[in-house]
Amino acid sequence: MMRTWTILLLGCLLALACNNSKSTTTKLAKSIVLEVKIADTTNTIDSLRLFAWKDIQAEEIAVQAVTKSSAGIGCTFELGQQPRGMYYLGTSLRDLKPMLLGTEKALMLEGKTAKVSELKIVNSPLNKEYENLMKRVQGHNETFMTLMTDYNTAKGDKATRDKVKKRMGEEDLAKRKLLDSLRQKNSELARIMAFNAFQSYQNNGKSGQVEGSYFAESYFDFVDFSDTVYANLPFYYENIKNYATALTQIGLKGNQQVAALDSLFTKVKEENRLFKPTLVGAMFGMMGRNNQVFLKYGKIYLEKFKGDYPMLDKFVTEQVTKLKGAAGVGEVATNIKGKTPKGSTLSLTDLRGKYVLIDFWASWCGPCRRENPNVVRLYNKYKDKGFDILGVSLDNSKAKWEAAIAKDKLTWHHISDLKGWASELSKPYGVRGIPYTVLVDKEGKIIGKRLRGASLEAKLKEIFGS
């Protein structure tokens, strides 16, 4: 277990070894010129793109066509004032050169290769210092790994352990001094050391405190969560994710894992810009490891941020639905929204105030079509008493969908995204076969499922009378 802990902690340290410091006085450059020179005459690049990290992903902010000559290719980005943070130059998200931007007026990237990721930044003191700091951090991490191995190997040998513990204390002090030095200079790089100044448990753990609990409580001791520049750095999001994952692997029980993350959110409130990367990082760090926590944070993400990242929204919705299962009887029905045959948008909540039968069907579904006459009869009987139907088609063809509606005389509301079994409308209800129905009351709560034929008629009679 001790060796596993050592490897996990080192993994977190290495993952966190790439951030940027709190700078209160370093001014932003009013404009930035980013020049690129590639001495490769065979290069087929037509344009270069500049991406900026924002919260949980890199977003494109500029595109520049390249000029070609006998010496190679090149281009110049002329930017206005930019937030300090991590930026990426590349042809796509697959081939990127990272760099810190924001405070320097001019940067040049040069190289003799078609791979943008291999370009060198030749005139940026900040990025040079960043590279040097990464080497120092790597050195501290390697020393820490060696000391942890020595400490674990010396189990039962107090004299040797005391010597190793002393060396750990020296490493702790060296890291604190480096962090203090960077902060005194108002260096951009202090943010990196804040994530890499973690102090040894052997010298700083409280009496009776186990190592896993120490990690959970102390890992972010030097991080200033009011410093929203972290939102412009990918390392913050990755660090939160790695921290959440580590919580599941260091001997903490589920309730202890939850307590550690809940404590984190007391420091990062919803109004803090870091809330989003903290939430998403914690969510994905727990995915597949503590799915109940993933479910908890997934629901919060969909409530607070749905619409910001369509691809992520889709994935999280699918995972939450899979873990939670479709809403059960007595629960509020998940709202769905789709296009009607005429092209307007209609949602389930638009029908609130009536008893609504959500009827999942398709023109090609024989059992659905055979059931339709019974549904038509019941609809005509109760529609004036507050009964309505929302037909949700799993068709692919709009023409066939509309033809079936007309032929079967289905005069109620209809929506479809025409994606067949891949329909986003059926996923929240876990539809695996059709016909499939869900009956919802006036408040939107589910009062019945899989009602058809005699069972549907009996339920409606119970609600509305004969």
Would you call the peptide bond into 125 cis, given omega within 30 degrees of 0 as the criterion? no
pLDDT greater at residue 235 or residue 222 = 222
Give CA 380 to chain center in angstroms. 47
Question: What pLDDT score was predicted for residue 186?
Answer: 67
Rg (C-alpha) for the chain, rounded Å, is: 29
| Average pLDDT for 358-375 | 96
pLDDT interval class at 166 (50, 70, 90)? very high
| Average pLDDT for 381-405 | 97
Question: What pLDDT score was predicted for residue 22?
Answer: 42
- Across 252-284, b (16+ Cβ under 10 Å) vs e yields beeeebbbbbeebbeebeeeebbbbbbbbbbbb
Question: What pLDDT score was predicted for residue 70?
Answer: 85
3-state secondary structure 282-325: HHHHHCCCCHHHHHHHHHHHHHHHCCCCHHHHHHHHHHHHHHHC
| Average pLDDT for 336-350 | 96
Closest CA to 145 of 5, 334, 35, 347: 5
Whole-number percent of the chain with pLDDT over 90: 79
| Average pLDDT for 174-201 | 90
| Average pLDDT for 359-364 | 97
pLDDT interval class at 286 (50, 70, 90)? very high
Q: How far is CA 374 from CA 133, 248, 389, 436, 459, in A?
A: 74, 53, 13, 14, 14
Closest CA to 177 of 241, 233, 222: 222
Two tokens at 47?
């344009």
Place of tokens 């993933």: 294
Name the burial class of residue 343, with classes exposed (0-12), middle (13-18) and buried (19+) by CB atoms within 10 angstroms of its CB.
Answer: exposed
Question: What pLDDT score was predicted for residue 1?
Answer: 40
Q: What pLDDT, in 10s, does the model give residues 440-458?
A: 999 999 999 999 999 999 9
Question: What pLDDT score was predicted for residue 12?
Answer: 53
- 199 and 188 Cβ atoms separated by less than 8 Å: no
Show Cβ contacts of residue 399 under 8 Å, excluding neighbours closer than 6 positions: none
Question: What pLDDT score was predicted for residue 113?
Answer: 80
Q: Is the pLDDT of residue 63 over 90?
A: yes
The span from the CA of 446 to the CA of 268, in Å, is 36
- 91 and 48 Cβ atoms separated by less than 8 Å: yes
The span from the CA of 61 to the CA of 77, in Å, is 11
In what order do the strands lie in the sheet containing 413-415? 413-415, 387-393, 355-361, 436-440, 446-449
Q: What pLDDT, in 10s, does the model give residues 14-52?
A: 544 444 334 445 789 999 999 999 998 777 788 999 999
